[in-house]
Amino acid sequence: MTNSEIVDLLELTARLMELHDRDQFKTRTFQTAAFNLDKSTADLANLPVDELVKLQGVGKSIAQKIREIAETGRLTELDELMAETPSGVLDMFRIKGLGVKKVRTLWRELGIDNLRDLQLAGENGQIAKIKGFGASTQEKILAALEFLQEQQGKVRMDKAAMIANMLHDELIKHFERVEVSGQVRLKAQEVDTIQLLVQTSDPVSAMLTLSNLPNLVQNERESSPFVWRGQLNGFDVQVEILFYSASQIDQQLFIHSAAEPHLKQAGPTGVSLLQAAYTTTDTVETAIYERAGLPYIVPEMREDDFAFRWASRHHNDELVTWEDLRGTLHNHSTWSDGKQSVAGMAAYCRELGLTYFGIADHSKTASYAGGLDAERVQQQQLEIDELNKGFGDDFRIFKGIESDILSDGSLDYDDATLATFDYVVASVHQTLTMSLEKATTRLLKAIENPYTTILGHPTGRLLLAREGYPIDHRAIIDACAEHNVVIEINASPYRLDIDWRWIEYAMQQGVMLSINPDAHDLAGLLDMHYGVAVGRKGGLTKAMTFNALTLPEMNDYLQQRREKIRG
């Protein structure tokens, strides 16, 4: 069991205890333990009780619960609570804005115990009549339900890649060649079908082989003699495995790894890519593009004709790669809600071959995340000064902050405090329900602030969980160009915000983009891989990638910016 899995079970236990009006003291014990352990770097599953009780927020009772989870994968107390709770009530916790008290009210007072009944109650106006809800809450619930329905059966990029790799590693034991294709190869940020191609001359035997593999559940109605469709146990996403002969697989890998609008693109002779794939004798992908008379396009960009417009101005070797990244600028430490110290994060960056690490812990308004007041800012910066003394000229920690953009668009520090940072990431974290006009105006004011260096996760979206607030992307990008503000590609697979479709416009306006992991632990730093993927999908070049600047270049950039502010 991983730490996050253990914490999730403790949190769920606390939530259901509150739902069922269990002992308040015991409920708080679970809540406190889950809150503190979420930041712990200890290997919870392998600690004995006498070591667990030394951790903050963990008493002997909770320590014994953790041992039970680690040894059995379950918690008896949670199983009993789950048995008393309709599965549909658990689903209601996924609705944005519905906490335990509201879910309990809906269940106890209206008898709603599933999402379908919740939707009907909202459509009939029953929710608005409940004390403490009202028409506004009812409207938000209905909007959240609609969003969840649209996301059903999808997984994020990171989970899709994990599932595809698991399947590939299992299938390659039985078949000569297996290729990951479809949405995963296209680097889609949300995936509804995990697709793989298998090379075989005997589809009947191949189907029998798949039927004997553990954890694969076939949907026989959706399958055919040449296509296995079903699911991998534990994951709510369709799996599609297609069988092709050795002579077909290269051709089909290309066809299944490009969107239909891209395949329809034709070259000077009128031959489309799809036609070229079926008519060329050499079926490797470069030869298919050559047969159509079109420039070769990397897989992640094969969406529509955008890639060819891009290719008229750029070459593939200009696209940003992981190796191009020289540093990372949006990260959190134990000073706010991170799980590692500044020193630990910086050390891991050095192991990754990066030459600078930027800390951007939460600011004072984000009290829920341990945000830093002015005094703690000063303390952290003294720590960074001491750490930097131990580095040579080849590495540096930059002093940043993720400053909250308040409702009126101002940042949540005075100018004297903002002036102490090397750079400022300005982000919205609270009051997310806004009209397009309100959200755009709020961001524009933050962009105009001379201390704003990077605009963080511009729409605040959480993929598959929360829609972003609406913004006028062109107006925001134009303002960033005017005020020399970098835009973040938040590389967390939960966000991937700004959306890749706006990268080309940003580059055209001369706005650089920073691939920021928003890392809260060491593993989070590796999320920059996802940021690189969506950056490449949108045509991001190394030249327009902010954190591809070398350490001397970044030093100069930030120094010149500070001097300009001082006037």
pLDDT mean over 282-305? 95
State both tokens at 346: 């910086």
Same domain, 332 and 280: no
Instruction: Report the pLDDT value the prediction gives residue 433, as an integer from 0 to 100.
Output: 87
CA separation (Å) from 505 to 185, 458, 527? Answer: 24, 15, 24
Q: How far apart are the first and last CA of the chain?
A: 55
Cα–Cα dist 140/119, whole Å:
11
Last residue of a domain, one of 287, 313, 339: 313
- What average pLDDT score do residues 514-525 get? 96
If asked whether residues 306 and 340 sit together in one domain, one would say no
Mean pLDDT, rounded, for 107-130: 90
Helix, coil or strand: residue 359: strand
Spatial neighbors of 478 by CB under 8 A, at least 6 apart, are 509
How would you classify residue 433: left for phi > 0, otherwise alpha for psi between -120 and 50, otherwise beta? beta
Residue 51 lies in a domain: yes
Kindly state whether residue 242 falls inside one of the protein's structural domains. no
Position 567 pLDDT exceeds 80: no
In what order do the strands lie in the sheet containing 454-455?
Answer: 327-328, 356-359, 396-404, 423-427, 454-455, 486-490, 513-516
192 within a domain of the structure (yes/no) = no
Residue 241 lies in a domain: no
The parent domain of residue 20 ranges over 3-136
Q: Is the pLDDT of residue 427 over 90?
A: yes
Q: Looking at the structure, tell me whether residues 400 and 445 fall in a common domain.
A: yes
| Judgement on whether residues 293 and 414 belong to the same structural domain of the protein | no
283 & 352 share domain = no
Whether 356 and 334 share a structural domain: yes
Q: Has residue 146 been placed in a domain?
A: no
Cβ(230)–Cβ(239) under 8 Å?
yes
pLDDT band at 504 (very low <50, low <70, confident <90, very high): very high
pLDDT at 331: 97
Task: Provide the mean pLDDT of the chain.
Answer: 95
> Quick one: which of 300, 275, 270, 296 has its CA closest to 285?
296
Q: What is the pLDDT of residue 124?
A: 87
Give the residue from 136, 156, 187 where a domain finishes. 136
In a domain, 179, yes or no: no
Flag whether pLDDT at 4 surpasses 90. Answer: no
Q: How confident is residue 150, by pLDDT bands cut at 50, 70 and 90?
A: confident
What pLDDT is attached to residue 544? 98
DSSP 8-state assignment for residue 436: H
The total of other beta-carbon atoms located within 10 Å of residue 317's CB is 8
Q: Based on the domain organization, do 89 and 110 belong to the same domain? A: yes
Q: Would the pLDDT of 38 be above 90?
A: no
**Angle of the 115-123 helix axis to the 134-151 helix axis, nearest 10:** 140
318-346 pLDDT per residue, tens: 999 999 999 999 999 999 999 999 999 99
Q: Tokens 């580095």 correspond to what residue?
A: 391
In this structure, are residues 525 and 517 in contact, taking their beta carbons and an 8 Å threshold? yes
**For residue 428, what is the domain's CATH number?**
3.20.20.140
Instruction: Give the C-alpha separation, 359 to 555, whole Å.
Output: 15
Q: Specify the pLDDT at position 541.
A: 98
Q: Are residues 264 and 380 in the same domain?
A: no
Whether 409 and 434 map to the same domain: the answer is yes
Banded model confidence at residue 64, pLDDT cuts 50, 70, 90: very high
Is 19 inside a domain boundary? yes
What are the two backbone dihedrals, phi and then psi, of residue 82, each rounded to the nearest 5 degrees? -65, -40
Residue 68 has a pLDDT of 94
Counted domains in the chain:
3
- Supply the pLDDT for residue 96: 77
Q: Looking at residue 374, what is its pLDDT?
A: 95
Question: CB atoms < 10 A from the CB of 246, how many?
Answer: 11
pLDDT score of 95 more than 90? no
Among 117, 136, 155, where does a domain finish? 136
Is the pLDDT at 178 greater than 80? The verdict is yes
State the average pLDDT over residues 83-93. 91
What gap in Å lies between CA 469 and CA 176, rounded to an integer? 47
Q: What is the pLDDT of residues 198-234, one digit of tens each?
A: 999 999 999 999 999 989 999 999 999 999 999 999 8
**560 burial type by CB count under 10 A (0-12 exposed, 13-18 middle, 19+ buried):** exposed
User: Are 306 and 337 found together in one domain?
Assistant: no
Q: What is the CATH number of the domain that holds 92?
A: 1.10.150.110
Contacts for 537 with CB less than 8 Å, ≥ 6 apart = 186, 187, 300, 301, 303, 500
| Identity of the amino acid at 344 | G
pLDDT on residue 414: 96
Does the structure show a pLDDT above 90 at 145?
Answer: no
Residue 458: pLDDT over 90: yes
Is residue 176, in this structure, part of any structural domain at all?
A: no
456 token code pair? 């963080």
So what's the pLDDT on residue 159? Answer: 95
334 shares its domain with 379: yes
Q: Are residues 303 and 337 in the same domain?
A: no
Highest mean pLDDT among 33-37, 111-115, 416-420: 416-420
